[in-house]
Amino acid sequence: MTTRFPDDTELDAIAAQVRSFTRMPAAELSRLLDDARQSPTGPATGQLVEQQLGTVLDAVLARRGQGVDLMDLYQEGSIAATVAAGEFASRGGAATGLRAYVARVVDKFLDDVIKREAAQKLADTMLLEQVKLLEAAEVVLRCRLEREPTTLELAAALEWTPETVEVVGAVLHQARENNDAEIVDFLDDIDEADTGDTADI
């Protein structure tokens, strides 16, 4: 396992924590699995998860540069490891198979997280493009009609459904409100800076 991660202070701390956990022999893991099966919310489950954090960290580092923050991946992987360890114990799994089982679950879960994140980023990009198109259509129709265009007119011009116009329009409206608020705050800051410095007229 890599022991140094440039510019990743939090990961360095996690790596140090992982190294601090002494790897248990199979007999001790078997005892913990039995205890966890009898008491799923007891301390044994937590100890089992601690033993799997190295597996989680390895899985996270193998997914560097895939568009998701590594600390976020580590948190997601830790959750997956907790669920996997509890499930493995409840099924009466043998200690020798615990690490491989957790690794499979964590790998699949992290891959799903990365896919969902990529899909969300794509959706955000597409929504941004739709907002730009809607804003342009509003300008064109406003000039042509000399009034505010209706939802149906915008839908016809863009070849969208009226529902899409309403959804994208709500995003555009919110963006305009946020932008207006930022401009007002900016002007207020200028006014405050000028107070007392402007000559009387």
Residue-wise pLDDT for 92-126, tens only, equals 999 999 999 999 999 999 999 999 999 999 888 89
Percent residues over pLDDT 90 in the chain = 67
Write down the pLDDT at residue 177. 81
Write down the pLDDT at residue 189. 66
170: pLDDT strictly greater than 70 = yes
Write down the pLDDT at residue 150. 96
- Are the C-beta atoms of 7 and 69 separated by less than 8 Å? no
CA gap 10, 184 in Å, rounded: 38
Query: pTM for the complete prediction?
Result: 0.68
Q: Which long-range contacts (CB under 8 A, 24 or more apart) does 79-87 make?
A: 80/56, 80/105, 80/106, 80/109, 80/110, 81/49, 81/52, 81/53, 81/55, 81/56, 81/105, 81/106, 82/45, 82/49, 84/52, 85/36, 85/45, 85/48, 85/49, 85/52, 86/36, 86/40, 86/45
Q: Per residue in 59-90, pLDDT tens?
A: 999 999 998 999 999 999 999 999 999 999 99
Higher pLDDT, 60 or 192: 60
| 111 CB-side CA count, 13 A | 6
The stretch 39-52 carries a mean pLDDT of 92
The stretch 47-52 carries a mean pLDDT of 93
For the chain, the residue count is: 201
CA 21 to chain centre: 28
The stretch 2-30 carries a mean pLDDT of 77
Higher pLDDT, 144 or 190: 144
- The residue whose two tokens read 């890599």 is 2
Write down the pLDDT at residue 192. 61
- The residue whose two tokens read 């070849």 is 159
Decide: residue 183, CB within 10 A, 0-12 exposed, 13-18 middle, 19+ buried: exposed
197: pLDDT strictly greater than 90 = no
164 — pLDDT class (breaks 50, 70, 90): very high
Write down the pLDDT at residue 21. 85
